[in-house]
Structure 1
Amino acid sequence: MELAAGNLSEGNASGPKPPAPEPRPLYGIDVENFITLVLFGLIFAFGVLGNSLVITVLARSKPGKPRSTTNLFILNLSIADLAYLLFCIPFQATVYALPTWVLGAFICRFTHYFFTVSMLVSIFTLAAMSVDRYVAIVHLRRSSSLRVSRNTLLGLGFIWALSIAMASPVAYHYSLFHLEVSNQTFCWEQWPNQGHKKAYVVCTFVFGYLLPLLLICFCYAKEIRDDQKSFYSFMPNGQSLRGCVPFIRCHTMIKNCSIIQFLNNHKVN
């Protein structure tokens, strides 16, 4: 009996351990999705607050005093970001909160379309800002006639028009798909020709990210080579660009994440 008891105890000690309990859903949502929703909420809250403050400050100008070109560019960045936060983030969050898409075909297309528009507007605006600084530093004599509000507004209008046109295939190829087995509806991208999808993704990456990045690097290199001291002090009325640099760096990192998300959304098999 003692031997049997000893064998039984050894068998219990060396037997397989019970599986670890799986994390329980929070409010009916998986833990990973719940964490994602919390991050979405923080991004939405701080993004709306920060961009609203920037827009409020930059939109105010003294009567008769023209806005600087740099302020117009930063104002455009904030408007694009705020529009994305208001019109895309809440709808994208439902993907993690609900098991099925409930917002209809229009919101399905509009959310992904405007995400792409906002991404392109921001990247093109950052490139335009680098060209603006390049003109102000390297071509100082001609900068006063080129760097005027009218030219900047025309450039920003062209940026929005180009971004809207480049993003149009996204709106066309997103649609709703219903799975009868699980009775679920999904907002998915569907291209009849994978070759066309690959061409669009590659062209968007090249013209919407790679070339603007090369342009920014070229302008920065020329600015530093021409006059390193004036690189941070070209702005009129004694204003300094140093206060804008943290904003621009932060915005650049965010848009790098956006282009990664864009490529992830448009994977080509």
Structure 2
Amino acid sequence: MKLSVIISTYNAEEWLHKVLLGYAIQTEDNFEIIVADDGSTSKTKDVIDSLRDKFRHPIQHVWQEDKGFRKCKILNKAIVNSKTDYLLFTDGDCIPRKDFVAKHLKHREKGFFLSGGYFKLPLDISKAISDDVIQNQQCFSISWLKTNGFTPNFKSTKLVRNSFFAAFMNWLTPTKRSWNGHNSSGYKSDILAINGFNELLEYGGEDREMGERLFNNGLLSKQIRYSAICVHLDHARNYVNEEKIKYNLEVRKYNSKNKVTWIETGIQKG
């Protein structure tokens, strides 16, 4: 296998079905799927089981008990269970365009991680995306989105499928080359070298914190937000906690000031 796709999820069966279907029709099929499940009910397993036969390699379902927001912990478990040397991280609410995996493989490079983004959709259009719409890639079509009530804006340029335009926009965009949990990839060895995700952190920059430690450890980043495209499905965020976000920011400031790379609350404890 060329790559492991690690998809985080929590009790979002409708969205996960759409996302997995997006990976089932990729132009590159020699990869594994690992669903990093932060304590969902058996309904999530039912969704995974219903789509298993659409993939070249078996889907891994890595699950942990529901004890609140513990995304970093389940991602670390998924990393340990991955069978390849290159890992692509995304979320269970981001449908990939059919060339998504191929683009990450094309742009991977030793000494770098890849920094991607997403194109955010409102809830009504998120709901309107059917299996056929994903199969036909209409959810990446500006004309289809307009037909369903979306008003195009500058961010719609992400959906322009032209490699020269994408390369130019990747170079032009002022967006920081950060590790974004919905669309980033890197070598497993680089992630293990900094001990993975910090399990002390909850929602709010927890993904970027790991990326910042990768930078501290000498890695660089390449921008691919206009090349590797996924659409983000809307949903509520009941897990947002301002105190936890403030704590995460303090940890990130400390790491930046002290050039922290290894943390003791990652994959290996202590």
Instruction: Return the TM-score normalized by structure 1.
Output: 0.24
Is the radius of gyration larger for structure 1 or structure 2?
1
Q: Which has the higher contact order (CA 8 A, sep 6+)?
A: 2
Instruction: Return the TM-score normalized by structure 2.
Output: 0.24
Whichever structure has more strand as a proportion of its residues is: 2
